[in-house]
Amino acid sequence: MDNPTDRHPLAIETEGLNLWYGDFQALFDVDLDIKRGMITSLIGPSGCGKTTFLRAVNRIVERLGYVRTTGSIEVLGQNIYDPKVDTVQLRKEVGMVFQRPNPLPLSIRDNVLFSHRIHRGKEKVTKAQEGEILEKALREVLLWETVRHRLDDRAVNLSLEEQQKLCIARLLPVKPEVILMDEPCSALDPAGTEAVENLMWELRGDYTILIVTHNMAQARRASEETIFMLLGKVIEHRATEELFLTPENKETADYIEGRYG
């Protein structure tokens, strides 16, 4: 994908998106407009299509090999199914954070610089420039003061909260526009969850964040808009407080009030 020179107002647009795993249809006619620079949460019962949708946005779902889609997904105004789209470049611009932290078995320094070193190609970067990139990424995820004196320590020795922040820091040097988060706090304790949620608020504006969560309290605390999905369909998409306080659909009300799911 090409980096657009104009600031497209929408980060993600889908129209009539359907997705099948083999013969099983997981998404049905999904139409969504996700605003740039905001935090949007995806909620709904297990198996409703949240993670499938998330992984469709950077086409990582296609790694399964038996996935078929119809309809369209645009990221920053460009159709990601355009034959000219390079999926490696797409996944550079649309980064992903998974349920459990997955630091590489390398130092803190090498984890943060890993993607940058892969994507820079033949561009020569000095150690001083790498040091600036490293510090900037760690400052953005509020880790710099914690780890600045132990950058050569193994990343796997960090706490789970610190590991998850590090995984986010690993994305930032390649300058993603969108960050997808799939249950990023599910392995964290309450203090770690709060720290990651605070980090999301720090990053919003500079990045568009789309987060899948089963935790409705988290969706309410940590997002500006919320999408409720059920059985592969979008039931409701509104400002978070409006969706939780005055849902327009009975299915949404039933879910957030705990009557099913």
pLDDT digits (tens, 9 = 90+) for 198-244: 999 999 999 999 999 999 999 999 999 999 999 999 999 999 999 99
From 51, 5, 43, 4, select the one nearest 27 (Cα to Cα). 51
pLDDT of amino acid 7 = 56
Query: How many domains are contained in the chain?
Result: 1
Measured between alpha carbons, how far is 174 from 115 in angstroms, rounded to an integer? Answer: 7
How is residue 3 annotated by DSSP?
A: P
pLDDT at 3 over 50: no
Report CA-CA distances (Å) from 191 to 7, 30, 91, 102, 197.
Answer: 35, 35, 30, 19, 10
Share of the chain above pLDDT 70, in %: 95
Average pLDDT over residues 89-105: 90
C-beta of residue 12 within 8 angstroms of C-beta of residue 208: yes
Domain presence at residue 205? yes
Domain presence at residue 122? no
Q: Convert the pLDDT of each residue in 115-145 to its tens digit.
A: 888 877 677 888 899 999 999 999 999 999 9
**pLDDT class of 92 with cuts at 50, 70, 90:** confident
Domain presence at residue 117? no
C-beta of residue 42 within 8 angstroms of C-beta of residue 255: no
Domain presence at residue 240? yes
Q: What share of the chain is helix, strand, coil (3-state, %, to 5)?
A: 40, 25, 35
pLDDT at 178 over 50: yes
Alpha helices in the chain (DSSP H): 50-57, 87-93, 108-119, 127-140, 144-147, 160-171, 190-203, 216-222, 240-245, 250-256
3-state secondary structure of 258: coil
Q: Is 245 exposed, middle or buried (0-12, 13-18, 19+ CB in 10 A)?
A: exposed
Average pLDDT over residues 187-203: 91
Task: Give the lowest-confidence range in 45-49, 94-98, 114-118, 139-143.
Answer: 114-118
**pLDDT class of 261 with cuts at 50, 70, 90:** low
Full domain range(s) for residue 44: 10-103+177-256
Measured between alpha carbons, how far is 69 from 21 in angstroms, rounded to an integer? Answer: 9
Domain presence at residue 244? yes
Pairing of β 67-75 and β 78-79: antiparallel
Domain presence at residue 168? no
Domain presence at residue 164? no
Supply the CATH number for residue 65's domain: 3.40.50.300
Token pair 């059920």: residue = 230
Domain presence at residue 247? yes
pLDDT at 100 over 90: no
H, E, C per residue of 52-86: HHHHHHCCHHHHHCCEEEEEEEEECCEECCCCCCC
